[in-house]
Amino acid sequence: MLSLRQLQQFLAVTETMSFRRAAERLNMAQPPLTSAIRQMEEELGVRLLERTNRIIALTEAGRVLREEARRTLAQAARAETLTRRAGQGISGSLRIGFVASAVRHLLPELVVRFRRSHPEVLLDLTEMPTGRQTEALLEDRLDIGIVVLPLPSNADKLIATHVVLKSQLVAALPKQHALASKSAKPLPLAALAHEPWILFPGHEGPGLQAGILAACAEAGFAPQVAQRAVQMETILGLVAAELGVALVPALFGVTGWDRVAFRPLRGPGTPIDYRLALAWRKNDSSAALAAFLTSAGAHRSARPRR
């Protein structure tokens, strides 16, 4: 089988049609180059060049080899480039999970920034709640997630996180509700003690639900759950339908829900933090992951934040 070096030598000869000039281009003596071409002809069992004291023309076999040599060397160069880029996190793929609340306020910025600097990395994005993302990360079905903190305690030793957005939970009330005052005065969390609540299933966002329940307990009550929904947008839709009250991130209060009033909270149990974070396996050595974390301003050695 011909080596890449032999193909390079042959191309230099065909492009200059001179052993002397080809040898100068290759920075080698002429006799070894002439011997190399003869050895190629012997290996292949064909004549590649028509020559007397000088090269006159390529044979048909020589023309075929010239084209194939160009393709082979170009592919070899491409393989080398792509391998280097993969090692630098510039190619490959990333499986990214994200909570729905990140779609409007965080995901587009992270994705656009990364794709501009790493256009050859294939992104496979899947919407899923924090609980499912945690399982998928631990089972190597995701490379990185955008989750709501805190994560379940059993994930702390294996998953690192980096907070990328901070907010606080506020009360979301039907517009016609008696507590939906137009004033911006904070509402005591305890004022919601006797209201029907819309809450997400505990297994979908265990850390956040635990924080809400703990806040309510500190305020002296347990919420009466009337409806459950997974996505914050769905929860707000149910609030707009006057099916109950809910706690949602303050950032949703600027997105235009005409039939929903948003009230900041005060008193025992408040404030209730809402933190979106990047999450990834601590033992993941993927270059593409490292590149994404760098693009997002995170670092692979980040630790869970509380």
Query: How do residues 185-218 score in pLDDT, each as one tens digit?
Result: 899 999 999 999 999 887 788 888 889 999 999 9
| Domains by residue range for the chain, with CATH | 4-87 (1.10.10.10), 91-160+277-295 (3.40.190.10), 165-274 (3.40.190.290)
Q: Is the pLDDT of residue 24 over 50?
A: yes
Q: Is the pLDDT of residue 267 over 90?
A: yes
- pLDDT class for 90, splitting at 50, 70, 90? low
Confidence (pLDDT) at 299: 55
Confidence (pLDDT) at 303: 39
Task: State the Cα–Cα distance between residues 254 and 244, nearest whole angstrom.
Answer: 20
Task: State the Cα–Cα distance between residues 165 and 157, nearest whole angstrom.
Answer: 22
Confidence (pLDDT) at 306: 34
pLDDT in tens, 102-125: 887 789 999 999 999 888 888 999
pLDDT in tens, 209-235: 889 999 999 999 999 999 998 888 889
pLDDT in tens, 70-83: 989 988 887 887 67
Confidence (pLDDT) at 153: 76
Which percentage of the chain shows pLDDT scores above 70? 92
- pLDDT class for 66, splitting at 50, 70, 90? very high
Confidence (pLDDT) at 224: 94
285 against 239, higher pLDDT: 239
To the nearest whole number, what is the mean pLDDT of the chain? 87
Confidence (pLDDT) at 302: 41
Q: Is the pLDDT of residue 301 over 90?
A: no
- Nearest-10 crossing angle of helices 4-16, 60-87: 130
Closest CA to 274 of 225, 208, 227: 208
219 against 156, higher pLDDT: 219
Q: Which residues pair with 127 in a beta bridge?
A: 98
Which percentage of the chain shows pLDDT scores above 90? 56
Confidence (pLDDT) at 84: 76
